[in-house]
Structure 1
Amino acid sequence: MLHRNESATFVLIHGGGSTSWDWHLVAPVLRELGHDVVAVDLPIEDDANGISELADAVVEACGDRTDLAIVAHSWGGLVAPVVAARVPAELLVFVSALIPKPGEAPNAWWSASGYNDLGISFETEEKEIELFYNGVPADLITASYATARDQSWARGDEPTPLKAWPEVPTRFLLCRDDRFMPPEFARAQVRDRLGITPDEIDGGHMVALSRPRELAERLHRLWTEPRRETDPA
């Protein structure tokens, strides 16, 4: 078994149309557990920015830090492996996130992954709350909507700059109560695209708001557990 350093820098990537605020309850717990935290606001509003530019923003925020654990939620999963290929990452974690294939355009994920076949829609705010925010306190739902941003989809049809999967140990944290990404779909996606079995946690899609301590403690465990000898170096 191979071991990492005791402390990590957790690089937290938010989902689509959102901000680093999503992680504001998780970050203090990670720091309490002895880690550094970098929570990035992706420049998602700008039509000039595609996946490559969003990844560049995360890389810049990392600076010269080492012992990096890249953590992505939801749509941020399309950015995370590009970041992991550009920085000295030691761990890559998808939290109920989209998993891209090399060369796949962001907008193509929905059909290529089979997600569109689920028939899940969220055209209204009421439906969004039902799908994304189950288990989240009402005041945090209100605050989340207050921090939301319009996301540009102008370059969503461009292939991802990811040419090959980064040689970084990769985990997927499935949320058992997720209505946006149902567990059955998530397990199939992880099996097809990563070839691994996901870790699981209670909570809905916005688990960082509904169960922040449990999420932070699970991320800590994923970091501190010994690396398997079969993991990429």
Structure 2
Amino acid sequence: MDTPVNRRNVLVGSVFAAAALAAGTACSSSSDDKNTAATTSAAALSQQAKDTTVVLVHGAGLDGSTWSKVSDQLQAGGYKVMVPANPLRSIGVDSDYFGKVVGAIDGPVVLVGHSYGGAIITEIGAKFPNVKGLVYSAAFAPEVGQSCLGVANAYPPTKLVAATVPSKYTVDIDGVQVPELLVDPAQFGAVFAAGLPADLVNAMAVSGRPATPLALDGKVTDAAWKTLPSWFVVTTEDNAIPPDAQRMMATRANAKKIVEIASPHLVALTHPDQVAALIREAVG
């Protein structure tokens, strides 16, 4: 969900006409400066960066809006960005879908995963020769034969465990009837988004895409971080993925760079500058 737009009060009346005109001129100048900076930044990109597509993969219980601030920054800088909707059905279904997305891209790709999205980039990254790097942002990077739940269960439970509830209905995934896993809206902020504006948190809490157990407990069959360079953002105030689990996975992957941020799980919304900077580094 996009960040709500701040509404400015418009001053009217002849008494304030001169002040309003001056303020408008200043705002216009500031806007022009930002546009010029973005244009200059885009022009300064290397050919490699211009040719590369950044694919941002969101996590379970969320949607592509969790990448909005990072996507905006990258696009303003001249980068090509895609934010496909993650099906969140099963490791097999989701990996097949993103494989089709990546396979259709002409040129190099950097895959960026958040949360469960990290398992998807882990599964498909090495299967496509145009993928040149992986960025994990508060994300899972399982070993072959390991699931997201398998990683998390080796650590003390986070707030996400108690906040996750199964639906009263089931869905059919390749002939198997399973419930969807929902995050209690009343606990969404504490689990994912502590410190973000309440209206944004409330909107995300009721609009996120539910996953199924076949996604979260699905075991990966390949581990792209073994053969591709990786970069990791570790969120030290995370109530969804234990920070120590994130550190373990980053170290195990022999990451080129590990950035620790005092942030909740939705770090791409709380600290978009730092996440975007790491992605730019991965693109090169």
Q: What TM-score do you get using the length of structure 1 for normalisation?
A: 0.79
Q: Is the 8 A contact 2:225 2:253 kept in 1?
A: no
- In the TM superposition, residue 155 of structure 1 has moved relative to its aligned partner by 6.0
Q: Is the 8 A contact 2:132 2:229 kept in 1?
A: yes
Alignment gaps of 5+ in structure 1: 225-233
Q: Is the 8 A contact 2:122 2:224 kept in 1?
A: no
Q: Distance in 2 between matches of 1:20 and 1:5?
A: 25
2:69 aligned with 1:25: yes
- In the TM superposition, residue 202 of structure 1 has moved relative to its aligned partner by 4.3
- In the TM superposition, residue 16 of structure 1 has moved relative to its aligned partner by 0.9
Higher helix proportion (structure 1 or 2): 2
The equivalent position to 1:89 in structure 2, one of 125, 131, 135, is 131
Structure number with greater Rg is: 2
The equivalent position to 1:187 in structure 2, one of 247, 252, 255, is 247
Matches within 5 A, 1:1-233: 5-7=48-50, 8-44=52-88, 46=89, 50-62=90-102, 63-87=104-128, 88-111=130-153, 114-115=154-155, 118-122=156-160, 123-124=162-163, 125=184, 126-154=186-214, 157-162=217-222, 165=225, 167-191=227-251, 193-196=252-255, 198-224=258-284
Question: Higher relative contact order at CA 8 Å, sep ≥6: structure 1 or structure 2?
Answer: 1
Q: Distance in 2 between matches of 1:97 and 1:155?
A: 14
RMSD between aligned residues = 2.5
- In the TM superposition, residue 60 of structure 1 has moved relative to its aligned partner by 2.0
Q: Distance in 2 between matches of 1:164 and 1:64?
A: 18
State the identity %: 24
Q: Is the 8 A contact 2:91 2:214 kept in 1?
A: no
- Amino acid in the other structure paired with 2:227: E
Higher strand proportion (structure 1 or 2): 2
Q: In structure 2, the residue corresponding to 1:6 is in which secondary structure?
A: helix
Alignment gaps of 5+ in structure 2: 1-45, 164-183
* Structure-2 change in CA distance of 1:204 and 1:36 (3 Å): same
Q: Distance in 2 between matches of 1:182 and 1:4?
A: 38
* Structure-2 change in CA distance of 1:166 and 1:182 (3 Å): closer
Q: Distance in 2 between matches of 1:65 and 1:137?
A: 38
